[in-house]
Structure 1
Amino acid sequence: MRSHLLNGLTAEHYRRSVTEGVERVAAKLATTDRPFTGVTVDALSPRIGDIDLDRPLGDTTAALDELEDVYLRDAIYFHHPRYLAHLNCPVVIPAVLGEAVLSAVNSSLDTWDQSAGGTLIERKLIDWTAARIGLGPAADGVFTSGGTQSNLQALLLAREEAKCDDLARLRVFTSEVSHFSVQKSAKLLGLGPDAVVAIPVGHDKRMQTLALAHELERCAKDGLVPMAVVATAGSTDFGSIDPLPEIAGLCARYDVWMHVDAAYGCGLLASLKYRDRIDGIERADSVTVDYHKSFFQPVSSSAVLVRDAATLRHATYHAEYLNPRRMVEERIPNQVDKSLQTTRRFDALKLWLTLRTMGADGIGQLFDEVCDLAQEGWKQLAADPRYHVVVEPALSTLVFRYIPSGVTDPAEIDRANLYARKALFASGDAVVAGTKVAGRQYLKFTLLNPETTTGDIAAVLDLIAGHAEQYLGVSLDRAS
C-alpha cells in the first residue's frame, strides 16, 4: 500500500494518476451540452448505496471508471452558460492549477513550521485585499472557509469589542434581506433570541438608513448595547448594496462596529467600471470577502479583513504544542493566532496564481461582464409581458416571476413558478434558483458566467414559460 503514498519514490505514479483524472474531467467539460442530466435522488442513490467501501477496486483507472458513473456523469456543471442558479462561478484555470499544487504539497496554514512561504503568501494577499478596500495601514485578516465563517468571526470580534458582560443586552442590526449567517452567528455567539434587529429595505432592496437611525436611537433609550451593524454589499437574493457611506456615518455617531458582508460584492474591488458602487466600504471595521463567488476561484477561497489588527486577538489562543506565546516575541508568524480554524488549507495559493497569471484587471473585466449581462437581462425581463422583475440589478442577480395572462389567483401563480423551476431542473436544460418576495414565489438568475449570453437568458425564459403554461394547462383541465 505504500505505493499509493505521495513521495519521491511515487512521483511518476502521481503524475500518471493525476493526468488521467485531468484528462477525464477535460473530456467531460468539452462534451457537456447542458448543466445537469436531470438525474433524480431515487435513481442515483442505489448506485452509490450499493458500493462496498471495504472492497477496493485496486487501481486508479477502475476507481475513475466508477466515479464517472456515480459523480462525473450527473454532476451539476457551473461552467455551463445555462447554469443560472446560485452564487457558484465558473473557475479560472490558474486557480485550478493552484488547487492541484496545494493539495499535493498539503501545507497547513496554522503555523509557520507547517507552511513557511505559504504563510507569507496568504499575508501578502490579505494586505493586497485590505489595500483594495482601503482599510488603512493597521489592517489585517485571515483566510476562511467562506462567508458564514467570516461573518461569525467578525461578529465575535464585535461582541468582544462591545465590552458588555450581559449578552442579552447586545443588539446586531442588519437589513431584512441580509444573509442568514448573521442570525446563525448571533445564536452561536450566545446572544439572545431578540439580538438581531432586521432593518427594512426600500423598493431597491437596500437598507433604509432612517429606520436604522431610529433603531439605534431606540436601542440607546432602552438601555441596550448596539454591538454591530452588518451592511450588505451584494445580498444573496437581489445583489443589492446597502448605502455604505450613510451607514458608516451612523456607526461613527453611535460608536458601533461596522461590518460589511461583501461576500458577493467583493468582485467590485477589482472592477474596472463599477468600483464606486461600494464606496464607503473603506470605513468598515471588518469586511467579508468570498473570492470563490466573484473572483472566479474554486471553493473555498474567502477571507475576513479588519481595520485594526489588534482586534484579531479575540480569536487568539496559545498551545505549547502548536503556537506557544514565546513565538510572538520571536516574531514567528503563526496564522492560527488569527483564525477560528486550526488546520487550514493553503486556499490563498489559488488567488495568488490567478493574480500572477491574469492580474486584478483580468478578474475585474470578467466580473464587469456579468454585471453588464445582468443589466441587459433586466431590460429583457422588463420588456417581456410574461414576467415581473423585482429590481434593477446592482451586481449580477435578477429576481422575477412568471405572470400568466388570464390567471389572477396568486397562489396558483406561485405553484406555476415553483413547478416551472422544478421541471426545468428535471429536464437538465438549465438550472435556476427560487426565492420568496413578500411571501410570493419568485425565480432567480444569478449570472456569474461571462460565457452566458442574452440569447441564453431569452431561451431559458421561454423554457420557464413553457413549463409554467404546461402546469397551468393541466391544472385548468383538472378544474374543469
Structure 2
Amino acid sequence: MKKKFDLELSPEVMKQMGEDAIKAVIEHIMHLPESPSFHLEGNEEISRALKESASEDGADFQSLLNFLMQRIIPFSINTPHPSYIAYIPGGGLYASAVADFIGAATNRFTGTWFMTPAAARIENNVLDWFSQWMGYPDSARGIFTSGGSLANFSAVVAARKHIIGDDVAKGTIYASNQTHHCVMKVASLAGIPENNFRLLDVDEDYRAIPELFEKVIKSDLRKGMKPFLIVGNAGTTNTGAIDPLVELADIAKKYGLWYHIDGAYGGFFNICEEGKRKLDGIEQSDSIVLDPHKGLFIPYGSGSLLVKEGELLRRAHILSADYMQDQYTPGDEVNPSEYSPELSRPFRGLRVWLPLKLYGVHAFRENLEEKLYLAKWLYDKIKAEPDFECTSPPDLTVIAFRYRPKKGDINEANRKLYKDIINSKKFYLSTTLLHGDFYLRCCILSFRTHQAQVEEAFKIIREKAAKD
C-alpha cells in the first residue's frame, strides 16, 4: 500500500531536523541571561488562541520549530533563567537533554531487565550510588520516577503494605504541617482516609516537634487506630527546614512505624560535608525520596525513591501475567517494573547517569556547596536590613523573609513588594504563607545561579522596598 506520508525519515532529513533543533535550543540557552525572568502578559488570550483541532495534513518541521521557539517557549515563567530563584529550581542540564534524545531515539523498553539488561544495569548503578550517598546498606533498592509525587506514592504503598496490609481504615500517618502537600495527596490515593492524616504543629523554626509526634501516636493507639508511617522532612518547601531526623527515627523504632524522609529538595546535600552534618539521621530512615531535577539540576521529570530493605518495595508492587512468562531476571538484577506502578517507561535513568559520568560527583558537590554559601550570603544581607525580617537562618538554600513597612498592613505591603519585584523581570521569586502571614521566598539551587545573580536580586529587593 502506497502511503502519502512516510513516517520513516531519510538520514538526511533526520540529520537536518536534529541540526535545526540543536541550533534553536543552543541559541535559546545562550540568550537566557538577558531574557526576561517571565513573560505572562496576555497568557489567557494566547492559550485560548492556540486551541485547535488535529490536522489531516502535516507541516514543515522548520515552521513548527519556529512556532515552538517563538510562540510557546517564551510565554512562560523562565525556569532555566540564572535569576530564577522561586519554588525549587534546578536549571536543566544540557547533557540530560542529549541523554533524553538518545534514549527516545533508540527507544528501548526499560520496564524489565530482560528487554534491556545493560540499560537496567546502569539505572540501578545510579540508584546504588544514591543509596551509598544516603548511608543505606546493600539491601537497598530504588526506582526512578517522574518526580517526588509518584516517588512518595510508592513509599506510602510500601509502608502501608508492610505495616498494616490492606486494613487501611484505621491506618494513620504523622507529619509536620510543613510537609509537602503531595504526601497527603498520594496517601489518599493509596487508600488512607484523609481524616487519618495527622499534620502536626511545628516549632518556631518550622521544624517538627518529636514530643508532639509521640503524644499523638499514643493517643491514637488508645483510640484503636493503627499508626504506620512517620514522615520527616529533609528540607521543607516553605522554609527549607530540616526536621529532627534522629529523634523522629527513635520514635518510629519505638512504636514499630515505617520512617520515611521526603528529601526531594534537600536530600542530595548529603554529598556535601556541611549538608551531611545537617542531615544527620537520614540514614536511619526506611525510605527516602530524592529529586534529581532539584539537587542534581536534571530537567523536570526526574524523581527517585530508595527503600532500605528493597524487597519490601518489591513486595508492594510486584504482579505477574501469563504474557510475561518469557522474561527472566537473574537473582542479582532488578526489574524496574517490580518496584514501581509502571511497566512501560522511558529510559529515565539515562538523563541522570550521563551527567554524573560526564562531570563526576565532585562537580555536583561543588555546585551544592556554592548554593549553601549563596543562601547564607543573601540571608545575612536581608537580615541586616532594618526594614526586613527573616525566619531562622537557612538550613539549606531557602530564605523566607518579609518587609516591615513603617505604616500600613504588613501583608499588603509585601504583596505589593512582590509584584514590584517580579514586574522588573530581572529575577523571579515566589511567596508563601507562614502562620497566615505573607512572606517572600527565595530558593537558590540552579546551577546557573551564582554570586552576580544573588547580588542583583538583593539590590532589586532593597530598591523596590525603598520606594514604598
* TM, length-normalised to structure 2: 0.92
Shift of residue 164, structure 1, vs aligned partner: 5.1
CA deviations on 1:237-260 (whole Å, 9 max, x unpaired) are 111111111111111111110001
Q: Is there any run of 5+ residues in structure 1 with no aligned partner, and where?
A: 473-480
403, 419, 430: which is aligned to 1:433? Answer: 430
- Say yes or no: does 1:214 pair with 2:215: yes
Shift of residue 39, structure 1, vs aligned partner: 2.7
Counterpart for residue 152 of structure 1: 153
Shift of residue 97, structure 1, vs aligned partner: 2.0
Amino acid at match of 1:433: S
Amino acid at match of 1:28: H
- Say yes or no: does 1:378 pair with 2:375: no
Shift of residue 454, structure 1, vs aligned partner: 4.9
Secondary structure (helix, strand or coil) at the match of 2:242 reads coil
Instruction: Determine the C-alpha separation between the residues in 1 that align with 2:394 and 2:262.
Output: 18
- Say yes or no: does 1:320 pair with 2:317: no
CA deviations on 1:368-419 (whole Å, 9 max, x unpaired) are 1111100011101101123221121111111111222222x3xxx3223223
CA deviations on 1:28-82 (whole Å, 9 max, x unpaired) are 2222313223433134225423x55416562211111222232133343333222
Counterpart for residue 31 of structure 2: 31
Q: Cα distance 1:119–1:406, how it changes in 2: closer, same or farther (>3 A)? A: same
Counterpart for residue 475 of structure 1: none
Amino acid at match of 2:43: V
Shift of residue 425, structure 1, vs aligned partner: 3.6
Q: Cα distance 1:432–1:392, how it changes in 2: closer, same or farther (>3 A)? A: same
- Say yes or no: does 1:188 pair with 2:189: yes
Instruction: Determine the C-alpha separation between the residues in 1 that align with 2:176 and 2:191.
Output: 21
Instruction: Determine the C-alpha separation between the residues in 2 that align with 1:190 and 1:72.
Output: 38
Alignment check: 8 A CA contact 2:40 2:76 kept: no
Secondary structure (helix, strand or coil) at the match of 2:194 reads coil
Counterpart for residue 283 of structure 1: 284
Secondary structure (helix, strand or coil) at the match of 1:74 reads coil
Please, which moves more after superposition, 166-175 or 438-447?
166-175
Counterpart for residue 421 of structure 1: 418
Alignment check: 8 A CA contact 1:38 1:426 kept: no
- Say yes or no: does 1:108 pair with 2:109: yes
Shift of residue 350, structure 1, vs aligned partner: 1.4
Alignment check: 8 A CA contact 2:146 2:303 kept: yes
Instruction: Determine the C-alpha separation between the residues in 2 that align with 1:466 and 1:318.
Output: 62
Counterpart for residue 141 of structure 1: 142
Instruction: Determine the C-alpha separation between the residues in 2 that align with 1:4 and 1:442.
Output: 55
Instruction: Determine the C-alpha separation between the residues in 2 that align with 1:277 and 1:64.
Output: 46
Please, which moves more after superposition, 432-441 or 90-99?
90-99
Q: Is there any run of 5+ residues in structure 2 with no aligned partner, and where?
A: none
Secondary structure (helix, strand or coil) at the match of 1:83 reads coil
Instruction: Determine the C-alpha separation between the residues in 1 that align with 2:40 and 2:464.
Output: 15
Instruction: Determine the C-alpha separation between the residues in 2 that align with 1:57 and 1:127.
Output: 45
Q: Cα distance 1:183–1:46, how it changes in 2: closer, same or farther (>3 A)? A: closer
Instruction: Determine the C-alpha separation between the residues in 1 that align with 2:326 and 2:61.
Output: 45
Q: Cα distance 1:457–1:402, how it changes in 2: closer, same or farther (>3 A)? A: farther
Alignment check: 8 A CA contact 1:47 1:70 kept: no
CA deviations on 1:122-167 (whole Å, 9 max, x unpaired) are 1111111112112212111111111111111111111111135542
CA deviations on 1:215-236 (whole Å, 9 max, x unpaired) are 2222222222111101110111
Q: How does 1:132-281 map to 2 (within 5 A)?
A: 132-163=133-164, 165-281=166-282
Q: Cα distance 1:189–1:304, how it changes in 2: closer, same or farther (>3 A)? A: same
Shift of residue 183, structure 1, vs aligned partner: 1.2
Amino acid at match of 1:320: D
Instruction: Determine the C-alpha separation between the residues in 2 that align with 1:274 and 1:425.
Output: 30
Secondary structure (helix, strand or coil) at the match of 2:41 reads coil
Amino acid at match of 1:40: G
Count of aligned residue pairs for this structure pair: 463
Structure (1/2) with the larger helix percentage: 1
Alignment check: 8 A CA contact 2:297 2:446 kept: no
- Say yes or no: does 1:393 pair with 2:394: yes
Instruction: Determine the C-alpha separation between the residues in 2 that align with 1:56 and 1:304.
Output: 43
Q: Cα distance 1:332–1:92, how it changes in 2: closer, same or farther (>3 A)? A: closer
Instruction: Determine the C-alpha separation between the residues in 2 that align with 1:454 and 1:354.
Output: 24
Secondary structure (helix, strand or coil) at the match of 1:135 reads coil
Shift of residue 113, structure 1, vs aligned partner: 4.3
Counterpart for residue 478 of structure 1: none
Amino acid at match of 1:335: P
Counterpart for residue 83 of structure 1: 84
Instruction: Determine the C-alpha separation between the residues in 1 that align with 2:6 and 2:417.
Output: 48
